[in-house]
């Protein structure tokens, strides 16, 4: 789960990581009030959960009230990668002497927590990682959930020659790791991590992503989610135990299992059609899920055909068949259904569907071919 910069900043503050003074505002008047408190110049930053915000003109340093008001209004009216800007962060502009990069994340392949640091912070950090990988420091925690500063002192020593800065960096890293461990993060990133003109270290930006699997033990984090970034259908699907992602095409897909669901979309595409969605009904055998899946898919008015591709394992084909029959009684399905069922209780399912006048396929290729034909 991603959260906005200002919420990540709040977490940083809670854990004692230094940030520039500031607050968020939805109005230019509010922004002016914040700026008067912090003093000009201030930086104003669009709060959006997509990358490339700076390049889209969503970040600006302003030196006086008039500029603040006009720039605030300009940014407020931006559309950044399809998202409108509702809230802006207004923070005291930092006198930047040098930009660094500091992050804690997971290396999946190593299965370990890793500190990543570089003396080349800023937006070009990924480019640096490609062209000058030796300028990126990777420090593995070796599976140890410690907060002992001595452990990662070498990272600070590689970044800074000044002993005072080393100490400050080590302490900030400890706080970042504490946040990372305590809140089940998958990323805690400071970019840029800045030395100010006065020679202090400060987080000039804050990015935190939480592990979705860890959210169960952090109910306090759920209100931090910005619902604007969640598709309503996708959220509803999630509540009903389905996994759904809307796409551009016209062949609705209902599949069991994420891999087969992706494979089915690929097959539709390969045989000349366009999948309208990814939908995984999951592993359980609840007929209700098929009904819910059909309801969600049918909201998309582009749909020309619905392809149901089930490979029964834990999912029993006859349960899916019953779900289809229940749906046919309860809702109007104005497009053809192409049904493919193989695996556990396939025979029972076919008897159920055939007696209701529906045709079923055993081969995935045949079913996909039929669905693509119906979509034209």
Partner 1 sequence: MSILIDQNTKVIVQGITGRDGSFHAKQMLEYGTKVVGGVTPGKGGQEVNGIPVFNSVKEAKDKTGCNAAVIYVPAKFAKDAMLEDIANGIPLIICITEGVPVLDMVEVKKALSNSQCRLIGPNCPGLISPGKSKIGIMPGHIHKAGDIGVVSRSGTLTYEVVYNLTINNMGQSSCVGLGGDPIIGTRFVDVLKLFQEDPDTKAIVMVGEIGGGDEQLAAEFIKKHVTKPVVAFIAGRTAPAGKRMGHAGAIISSGDSTAEAKMQILRDAGVMVIDFPDEIPQALTASLK
Site mask, partner 1, residues 271-290, x = CB under 8 A?
----x--x----x-------
Q: Write the DSSP assignment of 130-166 as a string of letters.
A: HH-GGGEEEEE-TT-----GGGGHHHHHHH-SSHHHH
Q: Indicate whether 270 belongs to the interface with partner 1 (CB under 8 A).
A: yes
Question: Any catalytic annotation for residue 15?
Answer: no
Question: According to CB under 8 A, which one of 311, 320, 325, 350 is a site residue for partner 1?
Answer: 311
**Token pair for 317:** 């084909």
Cβ 103 to partner 1, closest distance in Å?
A: 4
Q: Indicate whether 39 belongs to the interface with partner 1 (CB under 8 A).
A: no
Rank residues 25 and 186 by Cβ distance to partner 1 and give the closer one: 186
Question: According to CB under 8 A, which one of 22, 28, 252, 312 is a site residue for partner 1?
Answer: 312
* Alpha-helical runs (H) found in 240-363: 258-270, 287-298, 317-330, 346-355
Q: Indicate whether 256 belongs to the interface with partner 1 (CB under 8 A).
A: yes
* CB burial of residue 309 (10 Å; 0-12, 13-18, 19+): buried
- Please state, in angstroms and rounded to a whole number, the distance separating the CA atoms of residues 372 and 376: 7
Site mask, partner 1, residues 155-194, x = CB under 8 A?
--------------------------x--x-xx-x-x---
For residue 360, the SS3 value is: strand
Q: Indicate whether 332 belongs to the interface with partner 1 (CB under 8 A).
A: no
Beta-carbon count within 10 A of 294 CB: 23
Which of the residues 101, 182, 230, 288 is marked catalytic?
101
Q: Which residues contact 305 (CB under 8 A, 6 or more apart)?
A: 250, 251, 252, 335, 336, 337, 338, 371, 374, 375
Q: Which residues bind partner 1 (CB under 8 A)?
A: 2, 51, 101, 103, 105-109, 111-114, 116, 125-126, 129-130, 133, 136, 138, 142-145, 181, 184, 186-187, 189, 191, 207, 209, 211, 213-214, 216-217, 245, 247, 255-260, 262-263, 265-270, 275, 278, 283, 311-315, 342-344, 363-365
């Amino acid at each position: 789960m991603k959260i906005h910069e200002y919420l990540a900043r709040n977490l940083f503050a809670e854990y004692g990581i230094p940030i520039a003074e500031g607050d968020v505002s939805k109005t230019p008047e509010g922004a002016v009030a914040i700026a008067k408190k912090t003093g000009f110049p201030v930086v104003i930053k669009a709060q959006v959960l997509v990358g490339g915000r700076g390049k889209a003109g969503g970040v600006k340093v302003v030196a006086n009230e008039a500029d603040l008001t006009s720039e605030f209004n300009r940014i407020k009216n931006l559309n950044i990668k399809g998202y409108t800007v509702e809230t802006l962060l207004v923070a005291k502009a930092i006198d930047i002497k040098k930009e660094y990069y500091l992050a804690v994340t997971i290396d999946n392949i190593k299965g370990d927590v890793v500190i990543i640091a570089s003396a080349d912070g800023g937006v070009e950090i990924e480019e640096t990682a490609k062209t000058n990988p030796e300028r990126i420091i990777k420090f593995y925690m070796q599976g140890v959930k410690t907060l002992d500063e001595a452990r990662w002192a070498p990272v600070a020593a590689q970044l800074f020659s000044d002993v005072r800065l080393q100490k400050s960096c080590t302490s900030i890293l400890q706080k970042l790791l504490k946040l990372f461990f305590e809140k089940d993060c998958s990323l805690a990133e400071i970019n840029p991590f800045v030395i100010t003109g006065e020679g202090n270290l400060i987080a000039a930006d804050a990015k935190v992503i939480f592990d979705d699997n860890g959210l169960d033990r952090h109910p306090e984090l759920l209100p931090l989610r910005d619902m604007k970034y969640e598709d309503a259908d996708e959220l509803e699907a999630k509540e009903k135990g389905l996994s759904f992602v809307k796409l551009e095409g016209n062949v609705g897909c209902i599949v069991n299992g994420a891999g087969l669901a992706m494979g089915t979309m690929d097959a539709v595409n390969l045989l000349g059609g366009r999948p309208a969605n990814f939908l995984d009904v999951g592993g359980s055998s609840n007929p209700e899920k098929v009904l819910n899946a059909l309801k969600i898919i049918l909201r998309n008015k582009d749909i020309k055909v619905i392809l149901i591709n089930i490979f029964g394992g834990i999912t029993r084909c006859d349960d899916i068949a019953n779900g289809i029959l229940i749906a046919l009684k309860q809702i109007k399905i104005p497009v053809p259904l192409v049904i493919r069922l193989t695996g556990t209780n396939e025979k029972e399912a076919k008897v159920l569907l055939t007696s209701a006048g529906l045709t079923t396929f055993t081969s995935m290729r045949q079913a996909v071919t039929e669905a693509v034909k119906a979509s034209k």
